Chain A
Amino acid sequence: QVQLVQSGAEVKKPGSSMKVSCTASGGTFSIYVVNWVRQAPGQGLEWMGAILPMYGTTNYAQKFQGRITLTADESTGTAYMEMSTLRFEDTAIYYCARGGFDFWSPPQGDWGQGTLVTVSS
């Protein structure tokens, strides 16, 4: 069973950028899709995008296209989500979650513990 461990909480200024990491242990990393999902305070889950580390191919939600960049480092089993031009409404818990062997599915496996990002002036 793969365990996903995310980087720690961050406080960011509006207009700045953030980069969250998600490191897999205990299983095969690169053959499964890694999804990124966020949850604003008191809200539901929102899919942001996904990456298949083995090929580096990505699929972004239209809402985040151009503002997030997903990357992965197979050598360390780590996926990254970078978001630019942060706004107050980006305050949320950001999760990585394992998918299947292709993009055409919601998360199917383990989730990271979540990274709280607070955007505050």
Chain B
Amino acid sequence: QSVLTQPPSASGTPGQRVTISCSGNSSNIGSNSVFWYQQLPETAPKLLIDKNNQRPSGVPDRFSGSKSGTSAFLAISGLRSEDEANYHCAAWDDSVSGPVFGGGTKLTVL
């Protein structure tokens, strides 16, 4: 069972905006930055959002991150078929002195 809670699945149609949530507590999301990773089928995860809302070089601005209290959100606008992937959130957790992950959300583009 993952420390951070994500919905197991999400879906949208091309062009739509989709939001994926990540819920934690005061020892992880509530006091530390959140990171998001995109994992395309049969590939390694790739950093998508850094420190709550920073996009690494090369990540389209269709992807955005936000945080409020002990929850974080990944928004994908202008959904494309190539966005179909698993999305994972992570944050440092002070209570375990290590990073913790969500269980991942499988995004389907209908």
Contact = CB atoms under 8 A, between A and B. Distances in A.
A57 to B, nearest CB: 13
A59 B96 CA distance: 11
Nearest to A114: B44
A112 B92 CA distance: 21
Contacts of A112: 44
A14 B96 CA distance: 28
A32 interface: no
Contact of B44 (A35, A47, A108, A113): A113
A106 B44 contact: no
A111 B46 contact: yes
Interface string B85-106: 0001011100011111111100
Contact of B101 (A45, A109, A114): A45
A104 B35 CA distance: 13
A61 interface: yes
A108 B33 CA distance: 11
A45 B104 contact: yes
Interface of B: 2, 33, 35, 37, 44-47, 50, 88, 90-92, 96-104
Interface of A: 35, 37, 43-47, 49-50, 59, 61-62, 95, 97, 104-109, 111-114
Given A45-B101, A113-B44, 19 more contacts: A37-B101, A43-B103, A44-B103, A45-B88, A45-B90, A45-B104, A49-B98, A50-B98, A61-B96, A95-B44, A105-B33, A105-B35, A105-B92, A106-B35, A107-B47, A108-B47, A111-B45, A111-B46, A112-B44
